[in-house]
Structure 1
């Protein structure tokens, strides 16, 4: 199914408009994103997929302004983030955007509560204990409040990472392979938490993944190939996602140059 992206709609939270990202210069340059235009509606869960080297990670970094696009615009609630200075961007990311990565990035010397509230303390804010307790309860960590990361399972550590991302009450939640280091059962639990954050909270989630099971929990799946939007699926099943990824993988292999024969 070919993607259709037109003018922004009133319920869009995030929009990438003709975003390009080029690494290097002249003959050695690599175009990682080749004019991506995508809109993300409020309170939706979008999965971003594609073959290896398709531009998924670059997409996430540019969408979150962790890396500035070479050209194009990234708009959050209509405000062009690409025109903002770095200090303002840092403040915006701290207050309005949450991140969940494959690596949990927890501080080993801090317990669950201190790891969860760390972003607030770094921002010079006093944690709202009621909110902290609510987020810890939502992520199933109430009985582990005083435990340090070394005393937690991988799934529990990822729950801490999700709680840390939610405690600032962000409008936008980015995930980069958030279940990649987890077993299947634990991954499904984490996906349930992300799905709940969208359905019952105020979050909009955008998750980069290679896993069709993860993508099947999303409202929409966007497929990238060679830095371009290739296709989209709405309310996908695991089978539909897997079939699309198989087709994209076969296409990518056909585009690879044939190696010259060795002359002996």
Structure 2
């Protein structure tokens, strides 16, 4: 088995027909090792969202392969792909996507119940404690702050012990202090329980919480930084933005 939890090999994604084809990903090859935190950055229109959707099995690449542990995603039926995402992939988005009539605990345990799995009290207790919401389990989302709602979303993503968690701009709707709390929680999930996290972000400060930052431009990987600082990421993005603008990237 590959040491990478997720591996993309020569992935291309093209939208439209032959006359109006748009290439969103252009031969991307990259792996994400277990228990690592990777940030994905790039100018608007660089292919970040398409990259995340293909890596997470939400969209099928036009060509190339996506491996999740021992599974080649392109070979799975839609039913099997849905089951794999439910059981082995966690998702956290900028919009918290909580059910407003469900309590914190019911929102967190929803993936288990949808899968027909028994909800073990000790697992729920552990995950709620991990995100600092043990005392809020009976509250409704509307009774929580934005940061607390995002922590519920993270707990929901962690409850199935997924192979990988994909986060799409998870701090985009949060203030600076609350964003820092959420990023510390993602960082702790990597360091303390060995979670693998892949996060799309536009924020150099958010990216500095990752082990490495990979940069996309015009659908291609154009560089990476290991042990990033916010300053180094911002500088790289400044140059990347200038390069992308001159290359006609939208």
How would you bin the TM-score normalised by the shorter chain? Answer: over 0.9
Deviations 1:156-208 (A, max 9, x none): 00000000000111110000000000000000000011011111113100000
1:261 matched residue in structure 2: none
Deviations 1:81-110 (A, max 9, x none): 111111111111111110000000000001
2:22 matched residue in structure 1: 30
Match of 1:201 among 170, 180, 193: 193
Asked if 1 retains the 8 angstrom alpha-carbon contact of 2:92 and 2:153, the reply is yes
CA distance in 2, matches of 1:83, 1:229: 25
1:166 matched residue in structure 2: 158
Structure 1 residue 221 and structure 2 residue 213: aligned? yes
SS in 2 for 1:246: helix
1:131 matched residue in structure 2: 123
TM value normalised by structure 2: 0.97
Deviations 1:47-86 (A, max 9, x none): 0000000000000000011000000000112321111111
Q: Which blocks of at least 5 consecutive residues in structure 2 are unaligned?
A: none
Structure 1 residue 192 and structure 2 residue 188: aligned? no
Match of 1:251 among 236, 243, 246: 243
TM value normalised by structure 1: 0.92
SS in 1 for 2:19: helix
Aligned residues: 249
Match of 1:175 among 155, 161, 167: 167
1:5 matched residue in structure 2: none
Asked if 2 retains the 8 angstrom alpha-carbon contact of 1:171 and 1:202, the reply is no
Q: Which blocks of at least 5 consecutive residues in structure 1 are unaligned?
A: 1-8, 258-264
Instruction: State the 1:126 CA deviation.
Output: 1.4
Asked if 2 retains the 8 angstrom alpha-carbon contact of 1:20 and 1:69, the reply is yes
CA distance in 2, matches of 1:62, 1:149: 30
Asked if 1 retains the 8 angstrom alpha-carbon contact of 2:2 and 2:69, the reply is no
2:35 matched residue in structure 1: 43
Deviations 1:130-175 (A, max 9, x none): 0101100110111211110110100000000000000111110000
CA distance in 2, matches of 1:28, 1:200: 47
2:225 matched residue in structure 1: 233
Match of 1:150 among 118, 142, 163: 142
Instruction: State the 1:10 CA deviation.
Output: 4.3
Match of 1:105 among 97, 100, 106: 97
CA distance in 1, matches of 2:70, 2:151: 31
Asked if 2 retains the 8 angstrom alpha-carbon contact of 1:221 and 1:233, the reply is yes
CA distance in 1, matches of 2:17, 2:193: 43
Give 4+ residue runs of structure 1 displaced > 3 Å after superposition.
Answer: none
